[in-house]
Amino acid sequence: MSADGADAVEMRAALARLRRGTGLPIAFGGLITGGSMTSGTMTGGAGSVRIGELSGAVTGALRGLAIATGNGLGGKALALSRPCAVTDYPVSRHISHEYDAAVAAEGLLSVLAVPVVVRRRVRGVLYGALRTAQPLGDRTLGEAVAAARDVEQALVVRDEARALLAAAGSATGPAAAAGSVAGSAAWEEVREAHGALRALAPRVVDPALREELLAVCGRLASATAPPRVRDVGLTPREVDVLAWVATGATNAVTAERLGLRPETVKSYLRSAMRKLGAHTRLEAVVAARRTGLLP
């Protein structure tokens, strides 16, 4: 799945949540393409928010609409980097009216717009609307903000995954394969990246990106030497725990990184040690490295 495809999945899920939580008849939104905004200013190229996902629409008037910062309700939300709403869109004096034709074609009156903001950069906008002119209460606004946060978290995970993949790439090349970084401080960073990638993988919505993360984990695990793999029957979660233990992380830190309870981490670790024939944490890590499961 491409990044655009993953964006569509994330946005569709957020729109479904918004409609389910509020009863709004229509929700729609899109993410910035070709750039990003910081404090309402476009950076990184001439991008725009293009409405790509609609839920509950009765026409195609809104699909593909390009929202410029400052224009209309969504553009105002983008410029201010905060939620905005109007009760009667066609006659509102608090917004500009570049998109009135599309809004009228869909019959929208009460509309709210919530920006999608990741690390202080505006990445998109999510809308909910009624076809009647009545106030949208705090509960509806709260659900819209929560739906936008879902998209933000998905983007954070994907951004972190891409950054880790880029950082890990140098460790899977010819130099790393020759063992030039083994035993160095750089190799400790590789091991931390390996653990972080494994921790992120279950949170990634895009299945193609998730598989890419796990594939890189495999390359990192065998980067210093050809793996001498033997099937010891470790589960993915047991490998995740060992990956963090290998960095020197305590059970508490490992639990925090993986979103588990410390007692659960202990259970996974004991099981991994038994399968590897190890009596200590260090022996388990060494055995896992010998089998090519860890870098």
- 124 and 194 both lie in a single domain: no
pLDDT score at 94: 94
Residue 84, domain member (yes or no): yes
Q: Residue 240: inside a domain, yes or no?
A: yes
Range of the domain at 187: 173-290
For residue range 109-143, list pLDDT tens digits in order. Answer: 999 999 999 988 899 999 999 999 999 999 999 99
**228 lies in the same domain as 262:** yes
Query: 147: helix, coil or strand?
Result: helix
Q: What was the pLDDT predicted at 186?
A: 60
25 and 60 co-located in one domain: yes
pLDDT of res. 5: 59
Residues 140 and 197 in one domain: no
User: Distance between CA atoms of 59 and 68, rounded to whole angstroms?
Assistant: 22
Helix axes 138-169, 3-22, angle to 10 degrees: 160
| CATH, residue 281 | 1.10.10.10
Q: Per residue in 10-61, pLDDT tens?
A: 888 899 999 999 999 999 999 887 555 554 444 433 457 999 999 999 999 9
Tokens of 112: 């709210």
Bin 224: left if φ > 0, else alpha if -120 < ψ < 50, else beta: alpha
What are the pLDDT digits (tens) for 240-267? 888 888 888 888 888 888 888 999 999 9
* Bridging pattern class, strands 48-50 and 26-33: antiparallel
Give the CATH number, domain containing residue 133: 3.30.450.40
Q: What's residue 282's pLDDT?
A: 83
Are 109 and 130 in contact by the 8 Å Cβ rule? The answer is yes
Domains contained in the chain, number = 2
User: Does 43 share its domain with 92?
Assistant: yes
